[in-house]
């Protein structure tokens, strides 16, 4: 049986494609949200490493749709520090992925999303200046969480949404950060033999609905609509919590 024949036989493939369309719309609009949407559902139908590989590989496959604009609008120096911190600690997260129980990982996904949502809904905002050490710390937390659960975004999303940056800057910085982390996670998963040909084939198939969703989401984004942007961010995290609870099982 060929690789793509195996992909077509993947349990829940239609549901996964639908989830990637939704994730693409949200990612195109907000700059993040793919893992928050895909991982909870993906972990029902796929082994967690396979779901993480699908998220990261489809992300790289669709860079051309998002990264050029983000490169123009984002703070590349700040994102570089965040990404460096995350890349240094992502191997720790990937290592944990090789021996932590699947149900524990699913609880970790939902818990990370829940904590992020609670902090955002509390209305807390940080008005001071974050120095390089603080940026590296935020990135380091994202690296461990991303390597373990596929959710690289929550610490950085919380950091930016808790600050005073406008929607356009938040979106651009988040896109650049997640793009850098995609590479780091893929490299570490390859080193630990957690990505194979079937994973790449699955990502190729899912990249098509994902790209369609991204195109729709980007067309809908308006930087001046700050309140709508934040409402979408909160809703994405809330959806991830509900769908990711281990009580929702395919068995």
Q: Are 157 and 34 in contact (CB under 8 A)?
A: no
What pLDDT score does 85 carry? 93
What pLDDT score does 201 carry? 95
The CA–CA distances, whole Å, from 241 to 38, 114, 158, 174, 237 equal 12, 6, 16, 21, 6
pLDDT exceeds 90 at position 121: no
What pLDDT score does 251 carry? 44
* Lowest-confidence segment of 9-13, 161-165, 244-248 by average pLDDT: 244-248
The CA–CA distances, whole Å, from 166 to 107, 116, 169 equal 32, 19, 6
With CA atoms as reference, report the closest residue to 54 among 42, 44, 68, 66.
42
Provide mean pLDDT across the span 160-175.
85
What pLDDT score does 250 carry? 47
pLDDT band of residue 128 (cuts 50, 70, 90) is low
One-character DSSP codes across 74-131? S-HHHHHHHHHHHHHHHHHHHHHHTTS-HHHHHHHHHHHHHHHHHHHHTT----S---
Higher per-residue pLDDT: 56 or 4: 56
* Lowest-confidence segment of 72-76, 210-214, 227-231 by average pLDDT: 227-231
What pLDDT score does 153 carry? 75
pLDDT exceeds 70 at position 78: yes
58 CA to centre of own chain: 11
pLDDT exceeds 90 at position 207: yes
pLDDT exceeds 90 at position 28: yes
What pLDDT score does 147 carry? 73
Q: Is the dihedral of CA 133, 134, 137, 142 positive or negative?
A: negative
Q: Which two tokens stand for residue 107?
A: 């609880």
Share of the chain above pLDDT 70, in %: 88
């Amino acid at each position: 049986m060929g690789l793509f024949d195996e992909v077509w036989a993947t349990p829940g493939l239609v549901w996964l494609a639908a989830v990637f369309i939704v994730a693409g719309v949200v990612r195109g609009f907000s700059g993040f949200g793919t893992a928050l949407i895909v991982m909870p559902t993906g972990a029902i139908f796929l082994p967690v490493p396979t779901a993480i590989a699908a998220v990261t590989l489809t992300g790289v496959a669709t860079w051309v749709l998002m990264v050029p604009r983000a490169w123009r609008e984002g703070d590349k120096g700040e994102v570089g520090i965040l990404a460096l911190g995350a890349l240094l600690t992502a191997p720790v997260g990937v290592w944990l992925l090789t021996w932590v129980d699947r149900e524990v990982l699913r609880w970790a996904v939902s818990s990370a999303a829940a904590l992020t949502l609670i902090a955002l809904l509390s209305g807390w905002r940080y008005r001071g200046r974050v120095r390089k050490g603080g940026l590296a710390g935020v990135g380091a937390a994202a690296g461990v969480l991303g390597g373990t659960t596929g959710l690289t975004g929550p610490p950085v999303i919380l950091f930016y949404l808790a600050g005073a940056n406008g929607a356009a800057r938040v979106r651009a910085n988040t896109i650049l950060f997640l793009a850098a982390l995609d590479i780091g996670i893929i490299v570490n998963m390859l080193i630990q033999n957690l990505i194979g040909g079937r994973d790449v084939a699955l990502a190729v198939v899912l990249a098509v609905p994902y790209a369609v969703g991204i195109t729709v989401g980007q067309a809908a984004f308006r930087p001046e609509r700050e309140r709508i942007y934040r409402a979408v961010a909160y809703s994405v995290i809330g959806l991830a919590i509900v769908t990711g609870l281990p009580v929702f099982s395919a068995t």
